[in-house]
Structure 1
Amino acid sequence: MNVDIFETTVEIDESRIDESPAAIREQVYEYECRDRQEFDLTVTTPGGLTGEVMTAMSKIPYGETRTYGELAADLDTTPVAVGQACAHNPVPLIVPCHRVMGSDGELKGYSAANGVATKRRLLALEQGRGTKQTQLPIQE
């Protein structure tokens, strides 16, 4: 399924989430409006390193970031492997791969439309630099 946020589209594999598409869209809308800091959705992660990285990313608090290297050290792997796992996150935004950045402080890729620009906007929103949205909720 596709969800719209900040005039861009994020593709989410809804088969990995137990709740309905309507519930997912409502929570994304609340997040965009800064009325929600955590998603209350049941996500089934894939096996292997991608699932381990997704679990680690889901523990990064709202408004904070970690580097690929920090996650790699925690998971006893390499930053490149963490980056590859982030790129395979089937539920970006819900599992916040936008909170992972390079060790140099630079934002690296993001799988949603508009890539790094979308990642930058999500982080700005979470760090209080974005504007609160006033649009109507997305309808199915």
Structure 2
Amino acid sequence: MYHLSFSSPQGYLDIAEDDGKIVSLIWLDGSDDLHRDETPLLLECKKQILEYFQGQRQNFDKLPLNPKGTSFQKNVWESLYHIPYGELKTYGDIAREVGSVARAVGGACGANPIPIIIPCHRIIAENKGLGGFSGGKGTSSKLELLALEGVKIFEENQPSLPGL
């Protein structure tokens, strides 16, 4: 397995490639060793992620993905992958698409090994609550990603969210 770590607006990220496919994207806490495997795929993935953060890219393309998970999780991630840039769906929306319940979809979102590219940050609760986010600084990272995409969201019990 090959890894490439790099600085992003949300801190250091690490992408992993196995057998010619992207298998994970994680936030590093700063104390982790940085990896510098510069394969063509990892370099292309890094380029596309940085373009996304710069507002120059709305879709990740030509990136072969192979997230490891159960068949249910993979079905959920496939649905997430097709949510357009700047749009939101609810956990319930995805549950109806895959024939399940919102709580199970939330679990699959939390287990998503390739966030940002598989955009679990575009999922919110039925009541317009933010829900969770397993990457970076949790929901604050989710809010940053949504703001980057121009999404305005109203979090329950808050009159408005800063910067949105």
TM-score (norm 1): 0.82
Q: Per-residue displacement from partner, 1:1-54 (whole Å, max 9, x unpaired)?
A: 555432334454433518622111111100001110001111124441110000
- Is structure 2 residue 37 aligned with structure 1 residue 34? no
Counterpart AA for 1:43: L
Query: Map of 1:86-101 to 2, 5 A cutoff?
Result: 86-101=109-124
**C-alpha separation between the residues in 2 aligned to 1:4 and 1:103?**
34
**C-alpha separation between the residues in 1 aligned to 2:123 and 2:66?**
20
Counterpart AA for 2:46: R
TM-score (norm 2): 0.71
Counterpart AA for 2:117: I
Query: Map of 1:1-140 to 2, 5 A cutoff?
Result: 1=3, 2-15=5-18, 16-17=21-22, 20-40=41-61, 41-46=63-68, 47-127=70-150
What stretches of structure 2 of length at least 5 have no aligned partner?
Answer: 24-39, 153-162
**C-alpha separation between the residues in 2 aligned to 1:5 and 1:52?**
29
- Is the radius of gyration larger for structure 1 or structure 2? 2
Partner of 1:138: none
**C-alpha separation between the residues in 2 aligned to 1:64 and 1:70?**
13
**C-alpha separation between the residues in 2 aligned to 1:110 and 1:126?**
16
Q: Per-residue displacement from partner, 1:85-129 (whole Å, max 9, x unpaired)?
A: 011111011100000111111111111111100100101111178
Aligned residues of 2:124 and 2:131 also touching (Cα < 8 A): yes
Indicate the percent of aligned positions where both proteins have the same amino acid. Answer: 34
Q: Per-residue displacement from partner, 1:29-86 (whole Å, max 9, x unpaired)?
A: 0000111000111112444111000000011000001000110011110101000001
RMSD: 2.2
**C-alpha separation between the residues in 2 aligned to 1:4 and 1:128?**
24
The aligned length equals: 130
